[in-house]
A and B are shown apart, each in its own frame.
Chain A
Amino acid sequence: MTYIAKPKFHHPGLKKNELGYTHRDYEGKISTLCAGCGHDSITASIIEACYELSIEPHRVAKISGIGCSSKTPDYFLGNSHGFNSVHGRMPSVLTGANLANRDLIYLGVSGDGDSASIGFGQFAHSIRRGVNMTYIVENNGVYGLTKGQFSATADRGSKSKKGVTNTDNAIDLVAIALQLGATFVARSFSGDKSQLVPLIAAAIGHKGASFIDVISPCIAFNNHAGSTKSFDYVREHNDAVNRLDVLVGRDPIAVDYAPGTVQMVDQHDGSRIALRKIDADYDPHDRLGAMTFLQKHAAKGQIVTGLLYVDPDAEDLHEHLNTVEVPLNTLEADTLCPGSTALDKFNASLR
């Protein structure tokens, strides 16, 4: 809001990252969401992940649709360009932006109404095209901004704040993303920052379509008994298959892992993911296995979280289209326009 100014000064001793930026350099405007909103924790996690990765803030483009979740890009990365676009249409806008400049980092922020209802098609197609992006759904099972109607991710049998039971089946965006070929798929919980921050960092490092479904309770309309997206419910049913650390190339983080407990994943951007297994049988490189695992656990009412699938050798849309290495938005008439000689030849072929 124009009338809420955020003070710019900060403690001189604030820690700086490799580029010399502090946390504050990754912050945005003051959030206008409800106090205690899960979305604000996700905002904080994005800030943390970008700080940890030492990303230049202006090299990120943050794009969203419409809704509470889609307002959040205003609350982080104040030096990045943001685009609060059209309801359900973040994926297409992001796809276009990505085509124009392949060198930026694309962060798509959406909600369950935005991605599972009005924008379900766009969600699906951006995933199947392999757009190089980090697509975060801040999933609370309700329409917050219009005061608590069920969304398409609300579980069948869950109760609204007004006591209405949802009779429609839920859409599991993680299952869909897996089926559509997303090459990085994760689920997390806004109340578990230690899991969420490295997941966001790993997703940013991944080349290809990264999707993270973050269960993010709506404090105002979906945090009551009978809800399956409340803080209490998610804490009780959270079944994490792994936890991870993201190791950035030059940063010699000395982490000692007991042998056999950690699986290393090399990422395209040079970072490495150290996966600490919680469920010994879970293999995050097995797409089919992941799909079965998720279905089985969902049937038991468990919410599986963690890095669920990753293909470190994925290709993205630019590779599919064989586009030039330089961003298309830097090309000028000298390389784009075939010129009058070519046109004369073209004319001659039409006589």
Chain B
Amino acid sequence: MSDKKPISSVNDFVVRFANVNGSGSASANEMFARAILRHGVPVSPRNIFPSNIQGLPTWYEVRVTEGGHLGARGGVDMMVAMNPQTWDKDIAGIEPGGYLFYDSTKPMPSTKFRGDITVIGVPLTAITNSTYTDPRQRQLFKNIIYLGSLSALLDMDPKLIEQLIGEQYKGKEKLLSSNVHALHLGRDWALQNLKCPIGLRVKKSDKVGDRIFIEGNSAAALGAVYGGATVCAWYPITPSSSVAEAFTSHCKKYRHDPVTGKAKYAIVQGEDELASIGIVIGASWNGARAFTATSGPGISLMTEFIGLSYFAEIPAVIMNIQRAGPSTGMPTRTQQCDIIACAYASHGDTKHVLLFPEDPAEAFEFAAAAFDLADRLQTTIFLMLDLDIGMNHRLCRPLKWDDAKQYDRGKVMTAEMLEEGRDFGRYLDVDGDGIPYRTYPGTHPTKGSYFTRGTSRDRYARYSEEGSVYADNMQRLMRKFETAQDLVPRPLQANAERPTKYGVIYFGSTSPAMDEAIGLLEARGHQLDRLRIRAFPFHSSVASFLAEHDFVYVVEQNRDSQLRQLIVNENGIDPVRLVPIVHYDGSPITARFIAKAIGDHQDHLKVTPLRKAVS
């Protein structure tokens, strides 16, 4: 039947599950990904889901990658087509020579298949229905049955899957044994009726190491716990809700007094994003570490308060789990599209600190660091995650914490300092770094109180509409922002093997795809120096990098090349030298996309690849 040689690949392929949301497939699919990890083979899974609870199509994609490429690859080597709604599109998406796995209980006309793929039918419904009578059981176990069949087809070790089932249903013997039973139903059927294994295989390896498998939102929430956040106010919005939910569960585990059972934190689900950020501002003004988590529409609503935080100098941490905008946009699709909205949030002249973690491990570190930065700089710190990092399990290095670390509470004038007669001016720049001292409410009976306001005031917090007083304050705020440059995480540079005039700048979730693309580009003879930006304001090394290269590609996941705009604007760079490489259809950027876009541009520049030049 096949006129194309079936794909043959060990530990390097993409399996995509097409399901209907609400069918309970997510946990079976996730178990598939985890089982491969247990073989010592890295995986990179992604949920592609609708903004809906039940009935609409959902996909789960697992990239099996011994080479450790954690970005999305593009293309599908094996489709597990469990959703009739999307059948045609799913079949069309399979790579030539790929595999189709489907439920063959009901016969399908041959026109519904393709000649250049291997079709594998397992009568899943028939097997399920002959074993189970309860409808919900039928639905759930069908997922485990296909997992069993896949384990046979892909030559996976069933013991490792049983181990995972054992961990998941620890203490629930009945569920445990029935899941194992279902697994073997599917596996045995495949072994008896199909040619196992197929060309795609999982072989035990040792490439996972001590890495952990975690969602960025959970890691960021744990960073908030470690960073000392005690107040969290939030309003549900995809894809950020799981930050607050994870913070809640982490706090339940780590933040209750062992004796009294009382909570060393307060979480409030606000009535909207305005209230959420208001609560954060109020708590931070009063000396607690506070944060909110939101996404694009929430940022839009919060901007008035963000301006207050900037101007009245109140710490705040906002975790923005970006999704495709504008407006409601695509709530369940990823983008890096709020760079400008956050960097310059609010009316008037403002600039805000942005942190760009590349994966959950950095999300944890930067989330914890954000609270130190917020206290030190007395302003809003944005942790810029996106759906791709936030809501997908990502393999990353283990989270680390130095127990010697103390929190940096910034410049806080205490009752003792006031008693010593220290001059307290709330907006007085005593150290030349633009950062004034603050006092917490209730510090001293007669000294150190001040009136916080969003209106203009002098260095001693007294209301003033004098032009010179206003300008003096605005200039100090600029000095403070310059101070921030050296406090935020620095860019990381990686140079090509040979000196090159070309560079590439990227950030956040683009990271794994970029790393992989560099390999693809090198194979085509293109050498590129890389700079991964990790924060705004930009460190001086960004300007140096730009100066050292004739052309710099700026790779990002939005239409308007927002980071490039920010670089041009903040560094006064000739925009022609910054080439936008943008991907913005809501799917995560791939190495293939980057390599093609940059490669084509290099060809257009008539850059002769070195390999051709020497041959």
Which chain B residues border A350 with CB–CB below 8 Å?
212-214
Asked if B442 lies at the interface with its beta carbon under 8 angstroms from chain A, I say yes
Q: What 1/0 mask marks residues of chain B from 444 to 474 whose CB sits below 8 Å from any chain A CB? A: 1110011111110010001110100000000
Task: List residues 371-401 of chain B with CB under 8 A from any CB of chain A.
Answer: 398-401
Contact status B278-A336, CB under 8 Å: no
Task: Judge whether B454 and A84 touch: CB under 8 Å.
Answer: yes
Contact partner of B231 (CB less than 8 A), chosen from A93, A96, A340, is A96
Given contacts A104-B442, A331-B264, contact A336 B286 (CB under 8 A): no
Cross-chain contact of B405 among A84, A322, A333 (Cβ < 8 A): A333
Which residue of A100, A323, A338 is within 8 Å of B225 (Cβ)?
A338
**Which 8 pairs between the two chains have the least Cβ-Cβ distance?**
A96-B282, A92-B278, A100-B288, A81-B441, A329-B287, A96-B279, A96-B283, A100-B286
Contacts of B280 in A (CB 8 A): 96
Instruction: Establish whether residues B278 and A58, one from each chain, have CB atoms under 8 Å apart when the complex forms.
Output: no
A255 on interface, CB distance cutoff 8 Å: no
Complex partner residue of B272 from A95, A121, A328, A331, CB under 8 angstroms: A121
Q: Are A95 and B268 in contact (CB under 8 A)?
A: yes
The bracket for how many chain A residues form the interface is 35 or more
Given contacts A81-B440, A97-B441, A333-B228, 9 further A-B contacts (CB under 8 A): A2-B464, A58-B441, A93-B278, A96-B283, A100-B286, A101-B442, A104-B442, A322-B262, A324-B257
Residue among A103, A335, A343 with the most chain B CB within 10 A?
A: A343
B270 in contact (CB, < 8 A):
yes
Q: Which residues of chain A from 300 to 341 have any CB-CB distance to chain B below 8 Å in the complex?
A: 317-318, 321-325, 328-329, 331-333, 335-340
Asked whether any CB of chain B lies closer than 8 Å to the CB of A78, the reply is: yes
Set of chain A residues within 8 Å of B212, measured between Cβ atoms? 347, 350-351
- Interface flag for B304 (CB, 8 Å): yes
Q: Taking the complex as formed, is A346 at the interface, i.e. its CB lies under 8 A from any CB of chain B?
A: yes
CB distance from A26 to the nearest CB of B (A): 12
Q: Which residues of A contact B442 (CB under 8 A)?
A: 58-59, 61, 81, 101, 103-104
Tell me the nearest residue of chain A to B407, going by C-beta: A333
Q: Is A93's CB under 8 angstroms from B285's CB?
A: yes
Cα distance A329–B442 when bound, in Å?
12
Q: 1/0 per position for B3-42, CB-CB distance to A under 8 A?
A: 0000000000000000000000000000000000100000
CB of A314, distance to nearest CB on chain B (Å): 18
Is the pair A83, B284 in contact by a Cβ cutoff of 8 Å?
no
The reply to whether A321 and B451 form a contact with Cβ atoms under 8 Å apart is no
Is B191 an interface position by the 8 A CB rule?
Answer: no
**Contact residues of B with A, CB < 8 Å?**
37, 208, 210-214, 222, 225-226, 228, 230-231, 233, 254-255, 257, 260-268, 270-272, 274-288, 290, 304-305, 308, 398-403, 405-407, 439-446, 449-455, 458, 462-464, 466
Q: Judge whether A329 and B268 touch: CB under 8 Å.
A: no
Inter-chain contacts of B446 with A (CB < 8 A): 58, 79
A323 CA / B455 CA spacing, docked (Å): 34
Q: How far is the CB of B396 from chain A (nearest CB, A)?
A: 10
Query: From A79, which residue of chain B is reached at the shortest CB distance?
Result: B449
Interface residues of A in 242-292 (CB under 8 A from B): none
A85 contacts the other chain (Cβ, under 8 Å)?
yes
Q: Report chain B residues within 8 Å CB of A84.
A: 451-455
Residues of A within 8 A of B279 (CB): 92-93, 95-96, 99
Q: Which residue from chain A places its CB closest to the CB of B266 in the assembled complex?
A: A99
Shortest distance in angstroms between B431's beta carbon and chain A's nearest beta carbon? 23
How many angstroms from the CA of A322 to the CA of B251 in the assembled complex?
13
User: Could you tell me if A340 and B403 are in contact, using CB atoms closer than 8 angstroms?
Assistant: yes
* Contacts across chains A and B counted by CB atoms under 8 Å: 233
A85 → B minimal CB distance (Å): 7
Q: Are B254 and A83 in contact (CB under 8 A)?
A: no
**Distance of A124 Cα from B288 Cα, bound (Å):** 24
- In the complex, chain A residues 54-75 whose Cβ is within 8 Å of any chain B Cβ: 56-59, 61, 63, 73-74
Contact partner, A86, options B284, B308, B441, B463, Cβ 8 Å = B308
From B283, B304, B399, B445, A100 is in contact (CB under 8 Å) with B283
Q: Mostly helix, strand, loop or mixed at chain B's interface?
A: loop
Jot down 18 A-B pairs with beta carbons below 8 A, ordered by A. Answer: A1-B463, A79-B445, A79-B449, A85-B282, A86-B278, A86-B308, A96-B284, A96-B285, A98-B282, A99-B231, A121-B275, A328-B264, A328-B265, A328-B266, A336-B264, A338-B254, A343-B399, A351-B213
Known: A82-B451, A83-B452, A339-B401. A56 touches B445 (CB 8 A): yes
The residue of chain B having its C-beta at the shortest distance from the C-beta of A96 within the complex is B282
Task: Check B263–A322 contact: CB distance below 8 A.
Answer: yes
A82 to chain B, nearest CB (A): 4
Q: Is A195 located at the chain interface by the 8 A CB criterion?
A: no
* A329 and B230 contacting across the interface, CB-CB below 8 Å: yes
Cα A335 to Cα B308 with chains together (Å): 31
**A89 in the interface, Cβ–Cβ < 8 Å?**
yes
A129 CB-CB contact with B under 8 Å: yes
Closest to B209 in A: A351
A80 to chain B: closest residue by CB: B449
Q: Is the CB of B282 within 8 A of A95?
A: yes
Cα(A82)–Cα(B267), bound, Å: 24
Report which of B265, B401, B439 forms a contact with A337, defined as CB distance below 8 A.
B401
CA distance A57 to B452 in the complex (A): 17
Alpha-carbon distance A329/B266, docked complex (angstroms): 11
Q: Which of A57, A80, A89 has the most CB of B within 10 A?
A: A89
Enumerate chain B residues within 8 angstroms of A80, measured Cβ to Cβ: 441, 449
Give the residues in chain A near B449, CB-CB below 8 Å. Answer: 58, 78-82
How far does the Cβ of B226 sit from chain A's closest Cβ, in whole Å?
Answer: 5
In the complex, are the beta carbons of A104 and B441 less than 8 A apart?
yes
Partner of A321, one of B208, B263, B304, B453: B263
Determine whether A342 belongs to the interface, using a CB cutoff of 8 Å to chain B: yes
User: Within the complex, what minimum Cβ distance (angstroms) separates A171 from chain B?
Assistant: 17
> Nearest chain B CB to A350's CB is how many angstroms away?
4
User: Given the complex of chains A and B, what is the CA–CA distance between A115 and B291 in angstroms?
Assistant: 25
Q: Give CA–CA (A2, B455) in the complex, Å.
A: 13
The answer to whether A2 and B458 touch across the interface, beta carbons within 8 angstroms, is yes
Q: What residues of chain B lie closer than 8 Å to A89, measured between beta carbons?
A: 274-275, 278, 305
Complex alpha-carbon distance, A337 and B275, angstroms: 27
| A66 nearest CB neighbor, chain B only | B454
Q: Which of A58, A122, A325, A338 contacts B444 (CB 8 A)?
A: A58
A94 CB–B CB distance under 8 Å: yes
Question: In whole angstroms, what is the CA distance A96 to B267 when docked?
Answer: 10
- The distance in angstroms between the C-alpha atoms of A342 and B259, with both chains bound, is 19
Query: Is the Cβ of B445 less than 8 Å from the Cβ of A96?
Result: no
- Contacts A122-B275, A328-B230; A321 near B286 (Cβ below 8 A): no
Which residue of the partner chain A has the closest CB to B274? A89
Give Cα A82 to B401, complex, Å: 37
Taking a contact as CB atoms under 8 Å apart, the answer to whether B463 and A2 are in contact is yes
Binary CB contact string for chain A from 1 to 34 against chain B (1 if under 8 A, 0 otherwise): 1100000000000000000000000000000000
Nearest B residue to A338 via CB reads B254
Q: Are A336 and B399 in contact (CB under 8 A)?
A: no
- Contact call B308/A101, Cβ cutoff below 8 A: no
For A70, the closest partner residue in chain B by CB is B453
A331 & B444 in contact (Cβ 8 Å cutoff): no
A342–B254 touching, CB < 8 Å:
yes
* Docked-complex contact B401 and A343, CB < 8 angstroms: yes
Given contacts A81-B450, A328-B231, A343-B401, contact A97 B283 (CB under 8 A): yes
Asked if A193 lies at the interface with its beta carbon under 8 angstroms from chain B, I say no
The docked-state distance in angstroms from the alpha carbon of A340 to that of B401 is: 5
Please tell me if A125 contacts chain B, counting CB pairs below 8 Å: yes
